[in-house]
Amino acid sequence: GQNAITSWGFTNGNDGTGGEQPRFTQVTENLCHEIGHIQKQSSFYFQALSAQAVISHNIVYNIPRAAINFNDGFGGGAKIFRNLLFNTCRESGDHGAFNSWDRLPYVTDIATGAPSSTPALNDVHNNFIVANYAADGGCLDNDDGSAYYEIHHNFCVFGGHKQNFDGHDKHASFNVYVYPQVYGVKCIDEEMEGEDTGTSGPNGLPPAGYSESYVSNICILPAAGDPYMISGGILSDPKGFAQGIVLRNNTIYAPSADSSVTLSGDKVSFHHFQAHGFDPSSSLSGAMPSNEKIISWGRPLLF
């Protein structure tokens, strides 16, 4: 295709222990724009059957889909940091500025030195991502079973975090989401799609022992009533919800201190959500932060 940079390896079926894959590729200090005029499934950086890449200090804009696209979860161990990504997904909105898929487990020895289907964690941090134009998948789009990510200290504008389609073991902390959208206004889209197929845990949540977490993030919503989160789970079972999704110490700003949460299609106010025992340590404020305050939160993440 018309990817600017592609890293691609080979396996024996799902056995990746033979080492025929790129490792420790470094993609740093590049400027990329105006790609994908003919081949629309194009990215600045695309990887498949590769591991432990370092992608940092790049500026990427004016591209048709995701700026950085991981085709699978092979091996893990990638480090993605201090990139500026904007004007992505101009040809199709069904991506985020960063996109990952993970449809097949691979056996590697990357995480522990012994063969295992559990990869090393991918580390995504201190990026400046603006999900303007048509990045409906938000700033961070962990799609189709994506698993084993640490996503922290990112400054995200006009995009939230999408973690759905049966993924697990992804942990988001200390991120700032400014006026976020993920297929509509919301900070977090955690809808599991395997509820009817048995591939997710109870009530469309990640299975116990493979939980996701959102801890110490800031979410700034533009209008009263905008959703903080859409997820699986049921309102009568906060304990079961917490086995699949951990929410703690997040700060939400919404006009009139009015935000909502939707669990398995049932929409309630954030205050109602907390009254049922969910997310007790997070807070909702109607004192909307000034632009100067928002910038002050972003500056230490980016410089």
> Which comes out higher in pLDDT, residue 173 or 137?
173
Are residues 218 and 297 in contact, defined by beta-carbon separation less than 8 angstroms? yes
Region 204-218: what's the mean pLDDT? 91
Provide the residue type at 204 as one letter.
Answer: G
Report the predicted TM-score, pTM, of the whole model to 2 decimal places.
0.95
User: CA-based angle 16:22:24, to the nearest 5?
Assistant: 115
What one-character DSSP code corresponds to residue 203?
G
- Domain range for 167 is 5-267+274-302
Sheet holding 79-81, edge to edge: 26-28, 54-56, 79-81, 122-125, 147-152, 168-173, 212-215, 245-248
d(CA 134, CA 285): 29
For 73-132, the pLDDT digits (tens) are 999 999 999 999 999 999 877 889 999 999 889 999 999 999 999 999 999 999 999 998
User: Is-contact 148 76, C-beta < 8 A?
Assistant: yes
What mean pLDDT comes out for the span 5-22? 97
Look at residue 94 in the predicted model and tell me its pLDDT. Answer: 80
Q: What is the pLDDT of residue 201?
A: 59
SS3 category, 303: coil
pLDDT band at 197 (very low <50, low <70, confident <90, very high): very low
Q: Work out how many domains the chain is built from and give that number.
A: 1
pLDDT at 196: 40
| Residue 275 backbone phi and psi in degrees, to 5 | -65, -25
As a whole number, mean pLDDT of residues 202-219 equals 89
What integer pLDDT is reported at residue 202 of this predicted model? 62
The number of CA neighbours under 13 Å toward the Cβ of 98 is: 27
| DSSP per residue, 250-270 | -EEE-GGG--EEEETTEEEEH
Lowest mean per-residue pLDDT among 23-27, 206-210, 280-284, 286-290: 206-210
* Whole-number Cα distances in Å, 5 to 31, 32, 90, 163: 12, 10, 19, 25
Which one, of 11, 146, 148, lies nearest residue 69 by Cα? Answer: 146
Q: In the predicted model, is pLDDT for residue 199 greater than 50?
A: no
Segment 251-265 mean pLDDT: 97
Per-residue pLDDT reduced to its tens digit, 20-44: 999 999 999 999 999 998 888 899 9
